[in-house]
Homo-oligomer: A and B are copies of this chain.
Amino acid sequence: MTSTIESPVLRTNFEKSVAEYWNTNRIDPVNLRLGEVDDLYHHHYGVGEPDLSVLEGPADTRDERIIAELHRLESAQADLLLDHLGPIQPHHKLLDGGSGRGGTSIMANRRFGCEVDGVSISEYQVGFANEQAAKRKVADKVRFHFRNMLESKLETGSRQAIWTNETTMYVDLQDLYREFARLLTFGGRYVCITGCANDVTGLRSKSVSRINEHYTCDIHPRSAYFRALADNGLVPINVIDLTAATIPYWELRAKSSVATGIEEPFLTAYKEGSFHYLMIVADRI
């Protein structure tokens, strides 16, 4: 007997293609190789001043050194994000919106001792991340769900903090922040790190289009974030332009063996000003 039951997690062809992309990119050279460094697998980029001495020294371990350094910068980015979640206590619950292979969630649990739920529309990533949690013996506290962050199915008002680490370009911001407003307790916090297009340069940029094409995503303009936050009871308390802090990461990555070719549009976009790397910290009112 054939069944026509469809997964409610993937609502659109777009979501299906994103999920497939992340499901099948199991041998993704960048994220996996970087994750091997210390078993924290990230799906975001890095910030901070790289140690350029990694470019020097023996040629045969050069790549390894670069990869370790890139990974260090990615973990620094995740740490920066966690620094802005506010005073999290062990009894609080957090949400990692678009949790990838689970790196940031595991770092959050390690730092705060609290429960973290991650959701992802990639069934493969969810499995991978849950395995990581099990391996680290935190599976009772850190759980990954094969769910859409627009419909997390978590309890209303249950979250003290939520973050999205470079995942908002895949979803409608009004839908997303309506869901987050539902999930956060009054006074809870939302931290977003994202690339966004600069309204002031007119929103159109060949480089941003190339990034959109590469990741099959739709990078939002900066204005869309602040409009959607205002419309959903999320009030900024800190906004930091991380563009200058992420450019060295990309320059280093461009010189490594894990370069994918997307480094050039990122660097062009950041340098011409058509693209920002932004952190937004907001409170739920």
Residues of A with Cβ closer than 8 Å to B? 4, 11-15, 18, 91, 170, 172, 185-187, 199-206, 209-210, 212-213, 216-218, 222-223, 226-227, 229-231, 233, 235-241, 273, 276, 278, 283-285
Contacts and interface: CB of A to CB of B under 8 A. Distances in A.
Nearest to A239: B239
B236 A186 contact: no
A241 B238 CA distance: 7
A181 to B, nearest CB: 12
Contact of A186 (B11, B206, B217, B285): B11
Nearest to A169: B204
A285 B223 contact: yes
A174 to B, nearest CB: 10
A11 B200 CA distance: 10
A137 to B, nearest CB: 23
A200 B241 contact: no
Contacts of A187: 11-12, 200
Contacts of A284: 200
Nearest to A157: B8
A226 B223 contact: no
A13 B200 CA distance: 8
| Of listed A15, A206, A209, A238, residue having the most chain B CB within 10 A | A209
